[in-house]
A and B are shown apart, each in its own frame.
Chain A
Amino acid sequence: MNAIAILFPPLIAAALCAIPFKKSWAPGVTVLSCLVVLVLASNMAWRLATGGSVMVSAGPGWSDWVAVDGLSALILLLIALVATTAAIYSVGYMAHGTPAPRELRLYHLNYNLFIFSMLAIPLLAEPTLVWIVVELTTLCSALLVSFENTREALEAAWKYVVLSLMGAGFALFGFLVLFAAMHAASAGAYTWAGLIEAGPGMSALLTRTAFLLILIGLGTKVGLVPMHTWLPDAHSQAPSPVCALLSGVETTTILYVILRLFPVMQAVPGAHAETWALVLGLISVGTAAFLLLQVSDYKRLFAFSTVEHMGIILTAVGLGAAAHDGAMQQIVSHSVTKSFCFFAAGATLLGVGTREIAAVRGLIRIAPAAGAALLLGGLAITGAPPLAVFLSEFAILKAGLAQGAYVATSLLAVFIVIAFFGVLMHLNRMVFGAPRDAAPAHARADARSESGVRLPFTCALALIIAAVPMLVLGVYVPQPLHELLKQAAAALGR
């Protein structure tokens, strides 16, 4: 089977979603297509993990432009997994509030195109083509962010588009400079593999400039501080299943593109890519940890936690080869846990009808399922043992100490602890606080009218499916996944 095949189900589903048919047609098609993508991605990951290879014969002229290794298979698998759970979650969640059938069709059309653009990133190996699909992820998801058409959602979508595209402009120039640097040194094809080969002969000045431009440009879309300002807005205003995708996998998929440059940079003398990653990563973790303390919206809380996690992954990459395993584990645990968190936040929103932390008290009594899920998600995302994030963060800190990077590792540990208390302080009040009468009048009215809303079946199903890897990966990493993680970590070095 050809690796390219994974791109077809979302494209076909997008076309089918445009057909005005029964109300359950577009959601059904989307779930089906995501399931097919999940099967294809698991198949690829399985083959690579068991020592096989993935066929990528993309036809003449294309052959260099598509490549699948352990790292891209891992990212593909995560995209497919979160896309599937979010699609299942969307069925019940988006039916709530009875949007017009046309809007629902457009939502699923955009959803499939967004999945398509994300899947293309790890598959493609030609950097400028990757840049184009990175742009496509922004453009396909912009209308998903603004879906609710409120003033806030439109503002969030606008900031998201303008800042992401502004970053992309710098990244485009970076990729062109990288092309020039490579062509001056070798006649090979402009691909990730070709770059690694040509690395030692490339001009240090050009490669460094290109790396910084790409780090800043794509870092904007990953949400690295100080280019993160749009992220809490977009990741809180979008409908919850979209937030799960944006926060859970879109950020890591873009980070993947930056990670692809690290093996190239290791060949360039004086490039210090690791130092840049370490500094930018620690700044992101630290800033996010302190900003977490003062949020007033629980979806923004999880959005800042995404900034924090991107910082942790980048810090781990900067700590050197020993921490690369931990970085890969963190990518996996972040994706599965963060999507669960946003599903739980969506369930809470259905239960209480407000996003304000201050207006929600005693959630465990108002909406027990949502309250329990929110608390579990909060514990999981901040790295409480024995859950998946704990294991990966522990691996990173251990590797950092083993490398002798005491200052960076202890800073990282301190920031993680601050974030832990920040998130749980807010969630603890929301879940266990005494239901207060002082809640704003509109929130009370909402709570009364909405508290009758039972959690739709598909939302509960998605929560349960998303919880499985989050819980299991904390105590047991299956052998094939372990192998895949090792291959992915190896792709970060020469």
Chain B
Amino acid sequence: MSDPTRQLVENLNALATGLFLLTAFGIVAMRQARGCLHLFIAQSLLLAISAALLGLRFDSGHLYGVALVNLISKPIIVPWLLRRTAPAEIYTRREIDQVLNIPNALAIALALAIAAYFLGTALADALPPEYRGPNVPIGIAGLLLGAFTLTVRREAMPLLIGLLAMENGAFLAGISIARDLSMLVELAIATDGLIIVFIVGVLVRAVERHVGTTAVGELASLKEVPATQVEREAAP
């Protein structure tokens, strides 16, 4: 590959990963459940684009395969599975009272992204030069922001998207540092993501039917009650 072309491909990849980071921030802050799903689909497409660009850059058929698997499984099969399993209500929910308000959540998310940048650069420096690039720091940021989403959201859909976004983040870093992973493993990981959607969908449906809410994060009746308190309550 000639130098200018390689430069172009690398710049395009930087653009794709940059947009990926934006979608990760969006998932933290987006109130509408349906909007979260759309952001996740956009994020998965960007992941596929980044995999294809890196495939072009390193002439790796395996990365094209990863791009294809992502292109099919996440934007197409995930929404289809959700429609089949989860109650329709989870699309229409709008989260008004998050655990943290949106500016605060975004400020913490920004701090996490900066931490991810330093950690990612340190890790990439320990690897051969061709592994360096925006993928590792932004992948770590995606992972951390996904985990952060899980801690601040309560509605089923943003929580599920947070789980899947963590996996996307790990993968964005993975396509750069673990390029030669077996294709079978990649396929299995993609299938695993679909099973997550299926099981979580079934679980949310059960919660909706038996408890009457899709704000699963608000379920909090199980905790330690000091024994004396129980005895006091038990006394007539």
A148-187 interface code vs B (CB 8 A; 1 in, 0 out):
0111101111110110011001101100110111011000
Asked whether B147 is an interface residue with its Cβ less than 8 Å from the other chain, the reply is yes
Taking CB atoms, residues of chain A closer than 8 Å to B182 are 126
Number of interface residues of A (CB under 8 A): 58
Contact A179 B178, beta carbon cutoff 8 Å: yes
Taking CB atoms, residues of chain A closer than 8 Å to B188 are 129, 132
Taking CB atoms, residues of chain A closer than 8 Å to B211 are 151, 154
Known: A176-B178, A180-B131. A136 touches B170 (CB 8 A): no
Asked whether B226 is an interface residue with its Cβ less than 8 Å from the other chain, the reply is yes
Tell me the chain B residues, 161-212 only, with Cβ under 8 Å from chain A: 163, 166-167, 169-170, 173-174, 177-178, 180-182, 185, 188-189, 192, 195-196, 199-200, 202-203, 206-207, 210-211
Known: A169-B143, A169-B147, A438-B234. A155 touches B222 (CB 8 A): yes
Asked whether A206 is an interface residue with its Cβ less than 8 Å from the other chain, the reply is yes
Consensus secondary structure, chain A interface: helix
Q: How far is the CB of A412 from chain B (nearest CB, A)?
A: 23
Asked whether A313 is an interface residue with its Cβ less than 8 Å from the other chain, the reply is no
**Cα distance A115–B218 in the bound complex, in angstroms:** 31
Contact B159 A206, beta carbon cutoff 8 Å: no
Taking CB atoms, residues of chain A closer than 8 Å to B127 are 180, 184, 203, 206
Taking CB atoms, residues of chain A closer than 8 Å to B185 are 126, 128-129, 132
Consensus secondary structure, chain B interface: helix
Asked whether A250 is an interface residue with its Cβ less than 8 Å from the other chain, the reply is no
A156, A159, A165, A180 interface centre (most CB from chain B within 10 Å): A180
Number of interface residues of B (CB under 8 A): 56
Asked whether A465 is an interface residue with its Cβ less than 8 Å from the other chain, the reply is no
Partner of B210, one of A139, A151, A440: A151
Asked whether A275 is an interface residue with its Cβ less than 8 Å from the other chain, the reply is no
Contact A135 B150, beta carbon cutoff 8 Å: no
A and B contact pairs by CB, cutoff 8 A, 16 listed: A139-B192, A152-B222, A157-B203, A161-B199, A162-B159, A166-B150, A170-B143, A173-B173, A176-B177, A180-B127, A184-B128, A232-B222, A357-B230, A358-B230, A439-B234, A440-B234
Residues of A with Cβ closer than 8 Å to B?
Answer: 126, 128-129, 132, 135-136, 139, 142-143, 146, 149-152, 154-159, 161-162, 165-166, 169-170, 172-173, 176-177, 179-181, 183-184, 190, 203, 205-206, 209, 232-233, 236-237, 291, 294-296, 300, 356-359, 426, 438-440, 443
